[in-house]
């Protein structure tokens, strides 16, 4: 009976109050210089998390994707300064959706070099999303300070332009929305997906990389079996 009363009372709490109780920005240490940062946006009447990554290098901070909630851009940079005494020098967007590209104009105005694939920039223009200033046309390796990483295109999946980012030394794979969390029970937003090609693209990544950490675009990331879980969801 007490449980029912608690649940009933919770239903009487306005959604805005419940949303206000959710942290707007969470930064979680991953490994060494790597941090996962999470922001939230309302989806289907509830707040839903979006994961991004940043790495602290000797030449500044590299952001992989942007905060979904753009009101958290300045708090994120403030946190970086307070924690690491550094600011971002580069961002890399992994596909054209707003949870990966929102705030690119703001970052550019604050001196951050913004990057994406040429295909992603093309789709950003077509879909009226914010676009990166710099592009690459094929799988590309970057070195910033003491850290190197590879932007790798596995083929269509969540979107036709989705890429993953591989940090070879640390065996960290940032999958973005191409990879579903083991917490996910479905494939999420399929409005721009290619579900027929996605399984083969996942298998390419499984064959190419042997990660110790896998960061999906949404929900929990502590279980590294997200690639295998995504394939199972696709094969249902």
* Catalytic-labelled residue, pool 51, 65, 158, 218: 158
In the set 51, 65, 69, 97, the catalytic residue is: 97
Query: How do 140-144 and 134-136 pair as beta strands?
Result: unpaired
189 burial level (CB within 10 Å; 0-12, 13-18, 19+)? middle
In DSSP terms, 63 is beta-bridged to: 54, 91
A 10 A CB-CB count for 13 gives 10
* Given 31, 84, 189, 194, the catalytic residue: 189
Q: Is 99 known to be catalytic?
A: yes
Q: Which one is catalytic: 33, 65, 95, 162?
A: 95
Residue 85 known to be catalytic: no
Would you call 84 a catalytic residue per the annotation?
A: no
Catalytic residue list contains 65: no
Is 128 a catalytic site residue?
A: no
Give catalytic residues, as residue numbers: 95, 97, 99, 158, 189
């Amino acid at each position: 009976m007490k449980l029912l009363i608690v649940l009933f009372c919770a239903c009487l709490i306005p959604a805005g109050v419940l949303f206000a109780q959710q942290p707007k920005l969470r930064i979680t240490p991953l490994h060494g210089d790597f941090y996962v940062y999470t922001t939230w946006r309302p989806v289907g009447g509830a707040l839903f998390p979006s994961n991004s990554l940043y790495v602290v290098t000797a030449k500044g901070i590299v952001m992989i994707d942007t905060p979904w909630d753009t009101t958290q851009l300045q708090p994120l940079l403030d946190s970086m300064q307070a924690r690491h005494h550094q600011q971002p020098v580069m961002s890399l967007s992994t596909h054209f959706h707003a949870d990966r590209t929102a705030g690119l104009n703001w970052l550019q105005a604050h001196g951050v070099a913004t990057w994406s694939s040429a295909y992603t920039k093309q789709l950003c223009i077509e879909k009226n999303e914010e676009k990166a200033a710099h592009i690459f046309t094929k799988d590309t390796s970057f070195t910033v300070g003491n850290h190197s990483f590879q932007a790798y295109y596995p083929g269509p999946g969540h979107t036709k332009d989705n890429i993953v980012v591989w940090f070879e030394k640390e065996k960290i794979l940032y999958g973005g929305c191409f990879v579903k969390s083991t917490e996910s029970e479905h494939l999420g937003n399929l409005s721009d997906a290619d579900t027929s090609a996605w399984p083969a693209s996942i298998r390419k990544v499984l064959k190419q990389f042997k990660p110790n950490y896998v960061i999906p675009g949404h929900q929990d990331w502590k279980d590294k079996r997200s690639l295998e879980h995504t394939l199972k969801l696709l094969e249902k």
